[in-house]
Amino acid sequence: MMNSTQVSYFMLAAYFDTRILKYFYFLIILSLYVLIIFSNLLLIVVICTNRSLHEPMYMFLCSLFVNELWGSAGLFPFLMVQILSDIHMVSLYFCFLQVFSVHSYVNNQFFTLTIMSYDRYLAICDPLQYSTRMTFHKVAVLVAIIWLYPFIAIVLIVSLSSSLQLCGNIINKVYCDNHSILKLACSDTSIINIYGLIATFVTVFGLVISIIYTYVRILQVCFSASKQTQQRAVSTCTPHLASLLNFSFGSLFEIVQSRFNMNGVHPMLRIFLSLYFLTCQPLFNPVMYGLKMSKIRNMCKRLLFSVVKKESG
C-alpha cells in the first residue's frame, strides 16, 4: 500500500538549532516523561490493588491513565531522540505509526471524558438506580468501546493516508500528524476528506452534545438538591470539568496552529502550542484527580508511606 508513495522519509522542519541548549531541553522532556510515567502508573496501581476503588468511576479513571501512558509513549521518546539529533528525519513507516498512536490517544481521551460525564450524570441524577444501571458488565462494554472505536477509526484513516501519492516530505512540526501528511499529497484526497469530515462531525458532535446534556442535568439537580448532594457533585465533577477544559483548550491550540499560518509566531511558541494537549493532559490529570479525590489521595499516601517504610526498614 505504501509503495505508491514517492518518499521513504519525512523531514521535521519545526526543529531549529539550539546548540548546547539541546541537552537542557532533553533533560526537561526526560523529566516530564518520567513524571508522567510515575504519576500515571502510581494511580493505576492504587486503583487496581485496592478493592474499595473497584467502582465504575475509578475504572474509567484507570482507563484514562493507561491511555495517557499510551499517548506519551508515542511522543516523548521520539522527541528526546529528535532533540539530540542533528538531522530531524523520520521514516515513512514510523511516521504513520506515530500518527496512529497520537490520533488514537486523542480520540480515546475524548471518549473517556464523555463516558465519565455520563457516569457522573447517573451517580448524581439517579443515585438509587446507579448500581443497577452502571453494572460491571456495562463498565466493561464501555471501556471496550473507548478503546476499540478510536483504534478502528484511526486504522482506517492511516490506511487511506498511507495509500496517497506524496509529492513532498517536509512536515512543519516536531512530530507526525495526519493533517500535515495530507497537505503533502498530490493524489486525490476526496475520499479521506469526506471520511474524516463525517467521522469528526458524528463523533465530536455526538460527544459534545452528550457532555453538555449531562452537565445541564447535573446543574438542574444540584440547584434543587441538598447541600450535601451539591458538595458531593462539586467534589466529583470538578476534576472532570478541569480535565475536559484543559483538553479542549489544548485541542483548540493544535487546530489553530495546524490550520492557520503561524509563521509570525515565535518557533518555541508554535512548538508549545502543538505539544500542549499531548504533554499537559498526562501531567495535569494525575495531579488533579490525585489531589481532588480523597479516596485516591489517601490510598496514594498509604502506598508511598508503605514503600518508604520497607526501604528504611
Domain range list for the chain = 2-312
pLDDT of residue 309: 56
Closest CA to 19 of 80, 77, 86: 86
pLDDT of residue 303: 65
Domain 2-312 is in which class?
A: mainly alpha
pLDDT tens digits along 23-55: 898 999 999 999 999 989 988 988 888 888 888
pLDDT of residue 77: 94
Closest CA to 176 of 29, 10, 287: 10
For the four alpha carbons of 37, 38, 40 and 41, in that order, the dihedral sign comes to positive
Q: Which residues of the chain have pLDDT under 50?
A: 1-5
Cell (9 digits) for 121? 450524570
Tell me the C-alpha to C-alpha distance, in Å, between residue 68 and each of 28, 105, 195: 18, 7, 26
Q: Write b or e for each residue in 208-225: b if 16 or more Cβ atoms lie within 10 A of its Cβ, otherwise e.
A: eeebeebbeebeebbeeb
For the four alpha carbons of 250, 254, 255 and 256, in that order, the dihedral sign comes to positive
pLDDT tens digits along 163-214: 888 888 898 888 998 888 888 888 888 888 888 788 778 777 888 899 999 9
